[in-house]
Amino acid sequence: MGNKVVTFTEQQLDDYQDCTFFTRKEILRVHKRFRELRPDLVPRQMTEGQASSVKVPCECIEKMPELRENPFRRRICEAFSRDGQGNLSFEDFLDALSVFSEQAPRDIKVFYAFKIYDFDQDGFIGHADLMSCLTTMTRNELSPEEHQQIADKVIEEADVDGDGKLSILEFEHVILRAPDFLSTFHIRI
């Protein structure tokens, strides 16, 4: 009795619960998973400052079983990291797993999917982004000409305003027609 380690204060747990789609129990489970990635780096008890400043390198996060086989694992880390390099603080990690949870609404998932596919981070999915996506997904199993044809076809079909790139609204319109989007944009903790 009295030897229990308190990972977060009640206020921290309340704050995390308010800004994620997780229960307190799930938040503690996420912290456990985060700590398992680098126990030498991540403290058992997290102060507010440490929750946003202690960062686990992207290379460690990419090795998680849930991400290991995902060709977009690096882009997922980069999309959620505040440093843009893919290194995640606990709060970044919590945000990522919250967005990939079953409870996250579709519009939040669409926003982050767009962010992951927007390789050049210009707020649009252009031809170069599509080529990067195709290379990432197919691991060079298609020829450059096939990549070009697919990227051209996607722009042709989805670019409603004719500017040669996809806005988030045009991207959302395409994604909403994909019946398996919600079930595939998911990580179970």
Q: For 104-162, give the DSSP string.
A: S-HHHHHHHHHHHH-TT-SSSB-HHHHHHHHHHHHTT-S-HHHHHHHHHHHHHHH-TT-
Whether 4 has a pLDDT exceeding 80, the answer reads no
124 and 54 housed in the same domain: no
What DSSP designation does 165 have?
Answer: S
Distance separating alpha carbons of residues 52 and 82, to the nearest angstrom: 9
Distance separating alpha carbons of residues 83 and 102, to the nearest angstrom: 26
How would residue 10 be classed by pLDDT, with cut points 50, 70 and 90? Answer: very high
129 and 113 housed in the same domain: yes
Could you say which of 68, 100, 132 is where a domain stops?
100
What is the domain count for the chain? 2
Helices (H) and strands (E) in the chain, counts: 12, 2
- Paired with 166 in beta bridges are 125
Question: 50-62, pLDDT tens digit by residue?
Answer: 999 999 999 999 9
Whether 1 has a pLDDT exceeding 60, the answer reads no
Q: Which domain holds residue 143?
A: 106-185
CATH code (residue 179)? 1.10.238.10
Question: 163-188, pLDDT tens digit by residue?
Answer: 999 999 999 999 988 888 888 888 88
How would residue 128 be classed by pLDDT, with cut points 50, 70 and 90? Answer: very high
pLDDT at 189 (0 to 100) = 78
